[in-house]
A and B are shown apart, each in its own frame.
Chain A
């Protein structure tokens, strides 16, 4: 399964702005109603984008409901879920601690049944806990086409730093087995992550990473990223191509379209004009780089 060239992101819907808290608040006001999100998704679809890559934010459940209600309109529409919505857990950990958070978010009476089986059983079954958390996050997407399921960068990169290769691999395997989907990994440390996934036997992984002209959030350096794209086998998605606004859209897209081995480009925008402009730029530079030898 090949991913579409252009994927539509969701940061703008949830007040995620990497450079301005004021813009965050403005977005939060603009997208207060779900209808505003749907309208923007419509603009993206009109521009030819059929894939929405989104975090497992509570509000996405409402969007999924709208999609399920109009099967004809959304028949070619795909969602790439990105889990978990990390702030939900991070704030919960500050308040409840790690155990308290697991108690709060692991569904059903999992803990009850585990405690019945004894603490020893609990301590050995972390991967089952992970699987239950994945299932809980995936619930909202029931009946929707989700061919790639991503692990958010804060979790991917945490596991990378902790050297927890087996957990990354287990995520990959579980997503395939249970959801018949490809696993994707979002990261700010693409070269190091690719090394670890390959060591774990994951071949040709889908990796979504910050890739931009100024080297923003490209840990290990821009040169290493470019070399990795040139010489290694993986399916790259470029995100943060505008580097939070540090590069002009034209320059940004020209750079990314000129790189080898980028299967998809992820971007988010609020207005129809910005969506159309970005899509046209990508088409324009894709044309340039396929026709020039």
Chain B
């Protein structure tokens, strides 16, 4: 049994908590949130020990691992404290507000040999995993262009503010929404090296960006476009997609459907010349407990298994998430 604590029982935190609660190898030893109402509800109806002070939780519950799902501005200091105590850490995305904060945490986790993971769940989506596999095998030849997109209906009219609408706390579409797409590009193709131009637009929010458009180049020389908008109500929920052009074909994928075009018959097993369509239903491994998508359970299962030494701590490490933080900073800097 891995003893796990959770700090921050907001939208993501509650979801992680339910997944951990159902995980056969995890024991939830403590939940902490500053909202009295949330904590009292959990105290009354869930079996988990509850706290409003995370330091008290760490002291009393002595977790092996902690899931951190608090506003981004607290990530760096809280994660550092946990690592110094020898605790394995899963932290929500984005990793840190400023790229320089991440450097120290990567070193600290490494030197202490602690499992470290960030919640970029798209890497556990079957279609995107298949895209990675195809690209690794060079299936569509030399890549020359990509387009990464995400759209959804988060802020669709002027509204009152939360931490997500405060740029100082890690709010805004770039940090919250676009980070998923950037991280996916980093993972599938290569980390972002430079940003030629970018535009951060406020549509309904007063202080933060609601849409991000950018032209960027990757370390491997490939260039492409980022287009993300969380004020787009034509999408029922967040839709993330990538389109990748190569000399031998093209890949278009979202979290549900993968479409691959091959120019000639020399293509991987299971594919043929022309368009091929595969669905996430065929590409996704079943999970023991399902909440909002297999990927959320799979990423938490990966974290638990990494702590148990059953899988290497490779996917979504602090190191990979820091590259996404870096790209976020580059996009901000390149604003026209």
* Complex-state Cα separation, A215 to B288, whole angstroms: 12
The stretch that binds A, out of B101-109, B130-138, B179-187, B289-297, is B289-297
Which secondary structure dominates chain A's binding surface? helix
Is the CB–CB distance between A98 and B21 below 8 Å? no
Q: A18-B281, A219-B290 are in contact. List 5 more A-B contacts (CB 8 A).
A: A16-B236, A21-B257, A98-B37, A99-B35, A126-B45
Contacts of B22 in A (CB 8 A): 160-161, 189, 192
B330 contacts the other chain (CB 8 A): no
Expressed in whole angstroms, the minimum distance between the Cβ of A250 and any Cβ of chain B is 18
Is the CB–CB distance between B46 and A163 below 8 Å? yes
**B interface, CB within 8 angstroms of A:** 10-11, 14-15, 17-22, 35-38, 40-42, 44-48, 152-155, 159-160, 162-165, 176, 234-237, 239, 241, 254, 256-257, 279-282, 286-292
Closest 7 interchain pairs by CB? A161-B18, A188-B290, A164-B45, A246-B281, A161-B22, A123-B40, A219-B290
Is the CB–CB distance between B45 and A19 below 8 Å? no
* Complex-state Cα separation, A245 to B288, whole angstroms: 22
**A interface, CB within 8 angstroms of B:** 14-22, 24-25, 28, 87, 90-91, 93-100, 119, 122-124, 126, 154, 157-158, 160-164, 166-167, 188-189, 192, 214-221, 243-246
Nearest A residue to B256 by beta-carbon distance? A19
Is the CB–CB distance between B154 and A94 below 8 Å? yes
Is the CB–CB distance between A21 and B281 below 8 Å? no
Contacts of B19 in A (CB 8 A): 161
Is the CB–CB distance between A219 and B15 below 8 Å? no
Contacts of A157 in B (CB 8 A): 18, 289-291
* Complex-state Cα separation, A214 to B48, whole angstroms: 35
Contacts of B256 in A (CB 8 A): 17-21
Is the CB–CB distance between B153 and A91 below 8 Å? yes
Is the CB–CB distance between B35 and A19 below 8 Å? no
Is the CB–CB distance between A189 and B40 below 8 Å? no
11 residue pairs from A and B, CB less than 8 Å apart: A19-B256, A21-B257, A87-B153, A87-B236, A90-B237, A93-B10, A158-B291, A163-B21, A163-B48, A220-B288, A246-B281
